[in-house]
Structure 1
Amino acid sequence: MNSEPDWDLYRSFAAVLREGSLSGAARSLGLTQPSVARHVDALEAAIGTTLFLRTQRGLSPTDAALRLKPHVEALVATSAALLRAAADHAGQVRGTVRISASEVVGVEHLPPILAELRRRHPALGIELVLSNSIDDLLGRQADIAIRMVEPVQQALVTRKVGAVEVGLHARRDYLDRCGVPETMEALAGYDLIGFDAETPAIRAMAGRYPMLRRRLFALCADSDLAQLAAIRAGFGIGFCQVQVARRSPELVRVLEHDCAIELGLWIVMHEDLRASASCRAAFDALAAGLGAIARG
């Protein structure tokens, strides 16, 4: 490598990795497709290796590209964090705050909280990332994260605001048609809604409730929103946050005394953002709003 590649080359490379195509990367960056292609070619020339293989289905990242992926993602996240910090003028609540949350929390709980935050601080923009994976706050993939597992990373400001209870629910007309299960073992005779890919948390739950195994599910989905939609549609019985189910009179909890899971609710941000008025305002609003939900 004879010289340091321009930042735009890294940004385009990260966008192609993320979007999987030149056209998708161009749309996300507001550039033309030829411009993005030139950036990728220039970066490959600068570092002396091929980053993508051109196939009929699009661009496939090489092993070299995958090795560079975490580093370029860190560059993009740091750049975004720098711009957000620069926009934080003299203690004013303005600029952009990036918030990461799970699907259900982001869709079912956050909209009214964020709407009130925006009304109080109209100069504050919000980037909401919905994912059931845990974003790396130390790598600045998000400014603030809402987590349902206790954070273990250091250098984080953490506040536990309560807990949410998860239980088995079904739509009332499904239970009218199929009957109400009397025992956990009886669930084998019902249309169960559950996970597709197994995670450590799901394995722990399966160990506690061995009758809820993937092979018994009539509908498998890794999206919690898809599972919730199926419960609401009357497909069968599945897991739902009790606080969410209470908003839908047609949903009925079953086996309440046999199956109850409590998940803690934490608001987390990097300690370097403690002095940011914008991040502090968002952090406090989330803690207050989600705390009220956790208290019912």
Structure 2
Amino acid sequence: MHICMDWRAVKFDWNKARAFLVTAEEGSLSAAARALGMAQPTLGRQVDGLEQELGVVLFERVGRGLTLTPSGVELLEHVRAMGAAAGRVSLAALGQSQALEGTISISASETYAAALLPPIVAKLRVEEPGIHVEIVVSNRASDLLRREADIAIRSFRPTEPDLIATKIGMADAILYASPGYVEKLGHPKTPYDLRHADFVSIDPSGGMIKPLNSLGLGLTEANFPLLTESYLVMWELVKQGAAIGILDAHIGDAAPDVVRVLPDLEPLSFPIWLVAHRELTTSRRIRRVYDFLKEELKR
């Protein structure tokens, strides 16, 4: 099916087009609403409005998700190109800004956003009161190319050629539990002693088992009776004595109400990267915040 219309006669609304684009990529209105940080009914009205303006049906409902119609598939190619172009224009404009004023968005996981960024941002605000900071809290990698954030703190090196990254250092993921839960386990001394322990999983796919078993723990799915995709919820469960959790040692060691489980166990190490779009480095404001974060995080 080919979309036949006079595009010059269409009053095109980019907000509606973006709603369509994200819905198509996420596969459902609920997921798209979360990705865009807006209410699902509002998003649905924007998609419906685009369909009415264009005079075509873009989605068909399949179960709880949505699938593109032939017209939707054809339109998606054009809207993706528009989104990429809009992103390049926005990046280029921001890159030309030389004022140390304006808003900077920083993306980080829940734990880093809650535990590491607040004192750093407080110090930045003292030194640069003209810079306003938006902290984007997400346990997934924010899309910097689409301007979901200006700067991101990640645990992996980006592969996109338009992104630049600085390795801040390595972090150790350590097993923690409440003192009461460690006592309940009989103060384990070896990995084998944890064979009957409960753990909190933060990975619905079960991806925590393999790396932990590489340390000799010998765990199965039965060892993970608790599941949450929120690191903050996981950490609260650990502090309440519900199970064992794993967290960055910089954060875990600073908590007074937990202790390391098997302190001599080899940690799981992972890198910390500071990432930004290449064009943003021409912005004095972005460069200032990027360099500030780099120095503070290295501490």
Q: TM-score, normalised by structure 1?
A: 0.78
Match of residue 214 from structure 2: 208
| Aligned 8 A contact 1:53 1:61 in 2 | yes
How far apart, CA to CA, are the structure 2 residues paired with 1:154 and 1:83? 18
Q: Does 1:63 align with 2:68?
A: yes
The 1:15/1:95 distance shift into structure 2, 3 A limit, reads: farther
Gaps of 5+ in 1: none
- After TM superposition, give the deviation of residue 131 of structure 1 in Å: 2.1
Residue pair 1:185, 1:211 contacting (<8 A) in 2 also = yes
Once the two structures are superposed, the pairs formed by residues 51-130 of structure 1 within 5 Å of their partners are 51=59, 53=61, 60-64=65-69, 79=86, 82=89, 86=93, 91-130=98-137
Q: Give, in whole Å, the separation in 1 of the partners of 2:288 and 2:142.
A: 21
Q: Distance in 2 between matches of 1:263 and 1:275?
A: 30
1:20 aligns with 2:25: no
Letter in 2 for 1:266: W
1:256-295 paired onto structure 2 within 5 Å:
256-292=263-299
CA distance in 2, matches of 1:70, 1:253: 51
Change (3 A) 1:188 1:134: same
Let me know the Cα RMSD of the aligned residues: 3.7
CA–CA distance in structure 2, aligned partners of residues 216 and 102 of structure 1: 25
Tell me the CA shift for residue 191 of structure 1.
Answer: 2.2
- SS across alignment from 1:62: strand
The answer as to whether partners of 2:87 and 2:146 remain within 8 angstroms in 1 is: no
Asked if the contact 2:109–2:137 (Cα under 8 Å) also holds between the matched residues in 1, the reply is: yes
Separation of aligned partners in 2, 1:70 and 1:131:
27
Equivalent of residue 191 in structure 2, options 154, 177, 184: 184
Counterpart of 1:195? Answer: 202
Query: Structure 2 length normalisation: TM-score?
Result: 0.77
Asked if the contact 2:197–2:243 (Cα under 8 Å) also holds between the matched residues in 1, the reply is yes
Question: Aligned partners of 2:76, 2:163: CA distance in 1, in Å?
Answer: 24
Aligned in 2, Cα 1:285/1:49: closer, same or farther, shift over 3 Å?
same
In 2: Cα distance, 1:253 partner to 1:133 partner: 27
Q: Secondary structure at the match of 2:195?
A: helix
User: Contact 1:194–1:217 (CA<8 Å) still a contact in 2?
Assistant: yes
State the distance in 2 between where 1:107 and 1:189 align: 32
Give the C-alpha shift of residue 53 in structure 1: 4.3
* Contact 1:77-1:141 within 8 A present in 2 as well: no
Give the distance between the partners of 2:271 and 2:19, measured in 1 at CA. 38
Alpha-carbon distance, 1:89 to partner:
6.8
